[in-house]
Amino acid sequence: GTDAAKKIVGRKRGILTDTLGLLLAVIVTAASLSENAVGIQLLDQAKKTYPTITKSWVDTGFKNAFVEHGANLGIDVEVVNRNPGVRGFHVVKRRWVVERSIGWIMMRRRLSRDYETLPASSEAMIHIASIDNLAKRITDETTPTWRGTY
């Protein structure tokens, strides 16, 4: 599929993290699926795994259907808007947590491009990258990456 708005061909990755940036849920779908559809699947997956989840922050790409679905699950979904008075880059409340997590995940070469054939394989690679990141944070040891020195 193709996401015309973001000019993405192939797959779209959706992740849900906690406030520390640790992975809670992941889904890989065709790029043609809307952010709302991906987000609804993420909320369902997260609520099934973590029934005590009560709050979620999302960007403005998510619409009312997503917010209503979250309310039906008992999750307060807050849409975080950019400050229209500030030009260029600026930190948006809670948005940086997910962006940072995506940056950590993308340090893995297998995830820098869409190498995997199956969406389940791509999801597994995201989980492996998240586990590696968590292990690195716990032990203060780094594992070699493709961006390392030669």
**Mean pLDDT over each residue of the chain, to the nearest integer:** 82
Hey, what CATH topology would domain 2-139 get? Nucleotidyltransferase; domain 5 (3.30.420)
pTM of the full structure: 0.74
Does pLDDT of 80 surpass 70? yes
Q: How far apart are CA 132 and CA 84, in angstroms?
A: 37
Question: What is the tens place of the pLDDT at every residue in 26-38?
Answer: 998 888 888 888 8
Q: What percent of the chain has pLDDT over 70?
A: 88
Q: Which of 53, 8, 49 is nearest to 31 (CA)?
A: 8
- Residue 40's pLDDT band, with cuts at 50, 70 and 90, is very high
Give the separation between CA 74 and CA 26, rounded to whole angstroms. Answer: 20
